[in-house]
Amino acid sequence: MVSHNVPSLVMWRDLTPYPGRLIQSSAASPHVLIVGAGVTGLVTAWVLLDKGYKVTIVSKDWANFTPANRLTAQIAGALWEYPPAVCGAHTDRISLSNSKRWCMTAYHAWDAIASLPELSRASGVRMMPSDFFFPAPVEKDPAQFSKMAEIISSGVKGFRHDSKLMEQRNVNPSYGAVDAYELLAPVIDTDQAMMWLMSLVHGKGATTVTETITGDLLHQEETLRDRFGVDAIINATGLAGTEVAGDPTCYPIRGALIRVINDGKDFPRLEAALTITADAVHDSNEIVFLVPRNDNILLIGGIAQPHESTLDLTLASPVVRRMRERCEAFLPGLKNARLDSMYPLAQGLRPFRQRNVRVERELRNIPGTDRPSRTVHSYGQGGAGWSLSFGCAADVANLVEDAMCDLVPTSMEFDHSFSDGSESYGTTTSSFISVSMKSHDE
C-alpha cells in the first residue's frame, strides 16, 4: 500500500481561490481554448489562468438556475468519494489508478476552500461527515476491506469505522446494514459553486464565448486555433466526446435526485451524507444516496440508467417512486419529508465512456501531416466530475505544455503509485463491479 498524500496541485502554492491571478499573463503568454463549461472545463480554466495562460472558454450553455436547463455539473450529487464509488462504473484499471490520484488532489483543494468561512459561504463548499453502510462486516469483503485500508492511508480527515453510526444516524435497523464507516468529505452546493467558478475565472481574465462547436476537433483544429488565436485546445465537452473527439464509446447514464426540505421540522435535520452499497438493495442500478445540498435542501436518490438519453422522468415514474420508497425504508423519518416545491426533481445525463475517464492528448496526427495534434482531452468523468476536477486539471496543464512543444503524444498509463502493487488488483477491481454500476457524484 502506498501513500496518496502528495497532491499534484496545491491551493495557495499552485492556485488561489481569489480573483487575482497567481501568475500574471503577458502578451507573450500562451493562449488556450477550452471547449465546455462544466466543472471540468471551469476548474481547468482556473488552473491554467493561475499558471499565467490566457484562456478562452467556448460553450453552448452556461450555469443557470432554470430547472429544465441546468448543466450536468449542477444536477450532480457532488459528494466526494474515494474511487471506485460504491455505485460507480469506473472499473477500467488505467482510469481507476489515475482516479485515485486525481480525487485526492481534488479533496485537498476543496478542503482548502471549505476551511475559510467566507470562501465556504461564497463557493457552497463544505466539509461534512460522509457515512457508508454495508450489508456485512467490511472485514469479510476483501474488496471493501482493501478500499477502506486505502482510504485510511489516503490522507482524508475524520475517518471512523463504527457500526454504531447506524443508530446515530437513525438508520432503520431492519434495512440490512450491519457495518459502517465515516470520513469528512467535500459536499458541494453545485448551483452556487458553478456560479462562483464562473465569477472566479472571469475575475482572473478568462474570455467566454457562447457558441456550439460541432464535429471532430482534430479536423478543425488549425481553423479553430487561427480563429481564436490560441496555441492549444482542451476538450471538456462530456458526452459530446462522441462527436468532438471521434469517440464512439461515450454513452449517457441517466440519473435523478428528489429534493426535499431539510430544516428539521418534518424529520431530524440530516447533517451527514449517507450512502449504502448497491448489493444491500439487491439492484446495482438503484442505491440509497442522501446528501445535504445546502442549509435547506436534502437530495435523495439515486438511480443509474445506462444508455437512457431522454429527460422525461417525473415524480410519478416507477423508478423515481421506488427510489423514494427505498430511501424512506432506509431512513424512516423521510416519510414525512416535504418536497422542494420550486425544484422537486433533478435529472440529468452522466457522461461516461467504456474505458472511463480520458485525460490525454489527441493521439492522431493533424490530417495530411506528420505533426502531432495540440488538442488535449478531459472527458468521461461520468458521475465523478467534482471529485476528480482538480486532479484532472493538473494533468491537463502538464499535457498542454507537452502539446505546445509538439512532443509525440502517448496514451494514458497505469499509475503504479496508486495501486497496492499486488497481483490480485484485477480480482479486487472485478469484485467491485458486482456491487457497482455508476458514480453518484455527477
Query: Measured between alpha carbons, how far is residue 243 from residues 55, 167, 183, 238, 248 in Å?
Result: 23, 49, 39, 10, 8
Strands 179-188 and 273-276, by their bridges, are unpaired
Phi, psi (deg, nearest 5) at residue 260: -125, 160
207 CB-side CA count, 13 A: 12
Instruction: Examine residue 351 and say whether the peptide bond preceding it is cis (omega within 30 degrees of 0).
Output: no
383 known member of a binding site: yes
SS (H, E, C) the chain: CCCCCCCCCCECCCECCCCCCCCCCCCCCCEEEEECCCHHHHHHHHHHHHCCCEEEEEECCCCCCCHHHCCHHHHCCCECCCCCCCCCCCCCHHHHHHHHHHHHHHHHHHHHHHCCHHHHHHHCEEEEEEEEEECCCHHHCHHHHHHHHHHHHHCCEEEEECCCHHHHCCCCCCCCCCEEEEEEEEEECHHHHHHHHHHHHHHCCCEEEECCCCCCHHHHHHHHHHHHCCCEEEECCHHHHHHHCCCCCEEEEEEEEEEEECCCCCCCCCCCEEEECHHHHCCCCEEEEEEECCCCEEEEEEECEECCCCCCCCCCCHHHHHHHHHHHHHCHHHHHCCECCCCCEEEEEEEEECCCCEEEECCCECCCCCCECCEEEEECCCCCHHHHHHHHHHHHHHHHHHHHCCCCCCCCCCCHHHCCCCCCHHHHHHHHHCCCCCCCCC
Question: Binding residue per annotation — 212?
Answer: no
Q: Is 350 annotated as a binding residue?
A: yes
CB 316 within 8 A of CB 325: no
Asked whether 31 and 56 are in contact (CB, 8 A), the reply is yes
Q: Report the binding-site residues for FAD.
A: 237
**Which residues make up each annotated binding site?**
237, 350, 383
Annotated binding site for D-dopa: 350, 383
